[in-house]
Structure 1
């Protein structure tokens, strides 16, 4: 773990992404302390311009809500959705990929045809349909995004398991009488995970953008402020008050860029580890 951290620190992309993510995480964690209460509550005079009032550094929207408070609380929603959806997709995909790769035969055929069926529908359209049918809430949005993201990890884990299952340590585990499930999930899966962890950054970034798009369309959780809902709120005032959409848009750009750069650093560190091995 220490060697991996050192390799990551030698990557300029990884360090830049890590710094961005730390800043965003700090902003999200400090939101309830800096701006306690409901960020959707009216806080001042409507349509205050940025930097015109020290109490509202980025001004207020058309209802008098604090833009900075919305940004900080919106960071919590975006990071929570991105990380939760990625975890759910990685767990589901890892289980399906491990079972398919290790079992083989009919089980593999059935599971991979299910994967193919989910991959036919674009992730955003699948999330859009799921939220439209079940109703908008934060847990539903997380599940909807994960439904379209688990197929990538499943295929990658299956490919890794197929290359690992014939190795000597797996044959030794079979000789020792270990249960097949124990061999698959205790011996093979940990060795198949490193490439999948590099894919996690793509899933997180995609989840953040899909959540913003759903909120922009009015299909996000109405009780939670998100960057997508802030952009949608400001789209009718782009000429008179562009900051209402630009500020949350820059938050989205910073989040996706940070996740992407950090993922590049992780992939580079893993590649160096494999090269030395």
Structure 2
């Protein structure tokens, strides 16, 4: 673990991503402390320009809501959606891929055809259809995004399990009478998981963008502030108040960039660790 951390810290991409993500996490955690009131509340004159009012550093939107408060509370929504969607996708994908790869035969064929069926539909369109039918809320959006993201981890987990299941320690576990499910999830899955975890950064970045796109189309949770809804709000006054869309858009860019760079550092550290093994 110590060598992995040292290897990660030697990666410029990983360190840059860690710094960006640390700032975003700090924003999300400090949002209810620095802005305890509802970020949707009206706090000033509409369309106050940035840096013209000390109490409203980034100005206000068309209704007089604080843009800085919305930006910080929006970071919470984006990170929550990205992290939980990635966790659900990795969990479902790892379980399905492990079962398919370890069982083989008809079970493998059936599960892989299900994976193929989900991969036919682009993730955004699947999330759009699901949210349109069930109604927008944060848990529904997380599940809808994970619904289109679990296939990648499933395929990768299956490939890793296929290469691991014939190794000597797996054969020894069979000889001593361990149950197949116990072998699959206690002996095989932990060794197949590291490459699957490398997909977390891709899934988180994709989830953040999909959530923003859904919110931009008014399919986000109406009870919370999101960067996508802020961008959608600003498009109506893009010529007179471009900052309303630029500020949350810049937040999205930094989030995706930070997640990508952090993921690059993790992949480099894990690849080095696997080479040593």
- The normalised TM-score by structure 2 is 0.99
In the other structure, the counterpart of 1:233 is 233
In the other structure, the counterpart of 1:146 is 146
In the other structure, the counterpart of 1:39 is 39
In the other structure, the counterpart of 1:11 is 11
Report deviation, 1:260: 0.2
Distance in 1 between the 2:15 and 2:183 partners? 36
Report deviation, 1:276: 1.9
Q: Deviations over 1:101-140 (max 9, x none)?
A: 0000000000000000000000000000000000000000
Q: Given the alignment of the two structures, is residue 87 of structure 1 paired with residue 72 of structure 2, yes or no?
A: no
Report deviation, 1:86: 0.3
Distance in 1 between the 2:37 and 2:239 partners? 30
Deviates more, 1:1-10 or 1:35-44: 1-10
Q: Deviations over 1:214-255 (max 9, x none)?
A: 000000000010000000000011110000000000000000
In the other structure, the counterpart of 1:266 is 266
In the other structure, the counterpart of 2:22 is 22
Report deviation, 1:61: 0.4
Report deviation, 1:189: 0.3
In the other structure, the counterpart of 2:98 is 98
Task: Give the alignment of 1:60-79 within 5 angstroms.
Answer: 60-79=60-79
- Which ranges of structure 2 fall in alignment gaps of 5 or more residues? none
Q: Deviations over 1:189-214 (max 9, x none)?
A: 00001111111100000000000000
In the other structure, the counterpart of 1:118 is 118
In the other structure, the counterpart of 1:176 is 176
Report deviation, 1:76: 0.1
Task: Give the alignment of 1:205-220 within 5 angstroms.
Answer: 205-220=205-220
Distance in 2 between the 1:35 and 1:130 partners? 33
Report deviation, 1:6: 1.1
Task: Give the alignment of 1:183-198 within 5 angstroms.
Answer: 183-198=183-198
2:224 counterpart SS class: coil
Report deviation, 1:78: 0.1
Q: Given the alignment of the two structures, is residue 53 of structure 1 paired with residue 53 of structure 2, yes or no?
A: yes
Q: Deviations over 1:160-210 (max 9, x none)?
A: 000000000100111111110110000000000111111110000000000
Report deviation, 1:3: 1.7
- Which ranges of structure 1 fall in alignment gaps of 5 or more residues? none
Distance in 2 between the 1:180 and 1:10 partners? 41
Distance in 2 between the 1:3 and 1:32 partners? 37
Distance in 2 between the 1:51 and 1:258 partners? 26
Distance in 2 between the 1:176 and 1:256 partners? 47
Distance in 2 between the 1:133 and 1:39 partners? 28
Report deviation, 1:4: 1.2
- The normalised TM-score by structure 1 is 0.99
Which portions of structure 1, spanning 4 or more consecutive aligned residues, are displaced by more than 4 angstroms? none
Q: Deviations over 1:29-62 (max 9, x none)?
A: 0000000021000011111100000101100001
1:50 counterpart SS class: coil
